[in-house]
Structure 1
Amino acid sequence: MKRAPLLLCVTLIAGCFNSDIDLIKTGRLDLKPEYTVGEAFDNRKVCKNTSWDAFKDERQRAIVEYRCYFNGYDTVFTNKAAAIHAELEELDAKAAHKREALNEKLAQAEKELSDARELLSDPKTVAMKLKAEYDARHASYTDFLKNNRNRDTDDFISNGIEIPESLDDLGIPTLLTQAKRLRDGGDDYGYYGVYQRVKSSLNALMVDAQSRVAHLASLRETVEEDTEKSLQAKYKAAKDQIASIKGKLQALDAEHVEYQEYKTQKQAEAKEILASSGEAQAYEYYRWTILDDESFMIVGGGIMEKPPGQAEFSDKPYAYPADTVALVYQDNVTGFREYKQAIGAKAWTRMLGY
């Protein structure tokens, strides 16, 4: 890649110059010869102000240094402090939500324990209530079977069926209505298909009802023993649940102690950042050397930073300063962070660290 057009430049204004700085500022780069260097470098959106200086380097070369003091460098750190506060608020909210959810579960488990304890104080009464429920359902299913078991399918289609709510109706009422409509409409083919479905569903319904009758009879015989076992199991489950939740709450308390230490540390960090963010500075620099024929060449460039709490500037030189000059002429960003992103990682000898 040819870099000479970016590194070398010539002055297009004849005559004498008051200083080396004037020579550079009135010169023009081949990159965009319609602008002088001064016009391009002194009018950038990313700079809140600029400065120029001339000096001799250790090799006694005449050096002109340009500086662009960035807009928004302190914002990097105020945003960092704001991000710390936002993180802490989110962690506080998550911990509060977790504790609230555990307390709700604890209250529910304690209620279940209390209810189970109360029922265990008189399990026979509970068993009698269950037995009465079993008897009622047993009678309902028995009556249903007595009234419907010997009916034929045509009778069901003509006169319908009343199914106890606790039984799954298997869609039979809808099928009966459909079958009756097809039969009365003379659609023998359609009627035959629905008729077979009605017959099959009715058989399944009767089998289910008979199975429930037998099951309820079995439950009724062991209702007292089963009731006490069930209540004991509920009581134990509630106690175990309470112990588990209390263990989680204790763990949460321990986490809270550790988190408070972390929170105090992060709050102090944010406070320190905000207190010293006004002292933060960063500037971009370019250095030119003037050649014997009064042309000039870029010999260095980079960014100098002084974050909050740092006494001296740290230098982050560009690996290829000629590459970044194009960004000066593009002038399409207004803040430090955006400019850093535009430069790209390959233009740096090391990362900025943010």
Structure 2
Amino acid sequence: MVRKYGGSSLATPELVRGAAGQVAALAGAGKQVVVVVSAMGDATDRLVALAGEFAERPDPRELDQLLATGEQVSAAVLALALTRRGVEAVSLTGDQAGIEVTGEPGAGTIVRIDPDRVLEGLRAGRVVVVAGFQGRDTRGELRTLGRGGSDTTAVAIAAALGATECEICTDVPGVRTADPRIVPDTRPVPSISYEAMAELARGGARVLHPRSVELAGRRGVTVRVLHSSRTGPSTRVRAAEPPLERGAEVIGIAHDRDVRLLRIDAPGLSPDRGARLLTDLVAHGLRPDTLSWPVPGELRFTLHGPAPFAGSARDLVEALGARWSVDDDLGALSVVGTGLLDRPALPAEVLRIAGELGATMPAMAISDSRLTAVLPLDRLDEAVRALHRSFRLDRPVEARS
């Protein structure tokens, strides 16, 4: 079996020992176990801060060398904790586990896994502990996979070993209808499709990284999400059984506090020049989520993540003689479900809730599986709670109709 422990589940020596106890019990029951680990607690953030002590903009290659050590520490200490319990264990880096990646530093993608070294450990009766979030490219360069990359590592290893299920142990008891930290009456979601889970993840749910869900769907690996230290509900992410006819259904609400609105005011900017500008900005690292053109000459983008507009991208805009500004006091909520385009009252309901809260809404986008609305950050939690009630997500599925 393949099991992954997140950083919050390994944040202290006591938690590492607790995880070792669980893994030892599995091994004692005769299971062959591969464990994938994230860096302990906030170790990655501390390593990023450490790099900042020596360079304002650390070299991406050297930053990868530094950040990969976080997961390597986790793998080694968990192997030590297992050995102390009398369980034979071996820790492997991503490279030693046969993970081959491609791409730029900090944004590697897994292209193949040679599982021979992992299988060798399993055949020897050892628990194999793999450092997630990393691998080597064909030139032997270490590459990290980006935040959330350990989820992807675990699913990729499960697929390479022919496992039909991968367990993700985290600090929440499975997937719920919203974040229980801001909505007290959420309900567990026992089973969810790959597609819906990926949309929740893209909308800000931190339970699973969207890349890991997409990979699981492509390779047919069921992902089970469970609490790392408490018994209770869990969620299985797997292929949905196609119904005879799919109706409109709201499954859950995700939210994201890290949203920015970029405004570019360029009087006289024609549509074709605007298209060229957008192409150039994307080539320089801009990743817009929504785009609007409210008046001629003004472009608006919503973006997720820090530092949305800097360096050469800013130079491109200033070369046009354009003005630009960034609003960073925004958040976004995403209503996820199926057949949402067949529920025409859905956007109106979101607008009604925003109006009752006195919240402006600079952007909204809707597809058949997700509606995303951008709101002022100080109204985001209230809006999530209100919509959770409005869609009756606090009730069992059979009671929502």
TM-score, structure 2 as length reference: 0.17
* Larger fraction in strand: 2
Of structures 1 and 2, the one with the larger relative CO (CA 8 A, separation 6+) is 1
Whichever of the two has the greater Rg, that structure is: 1
* Larger fraction in helix: 1
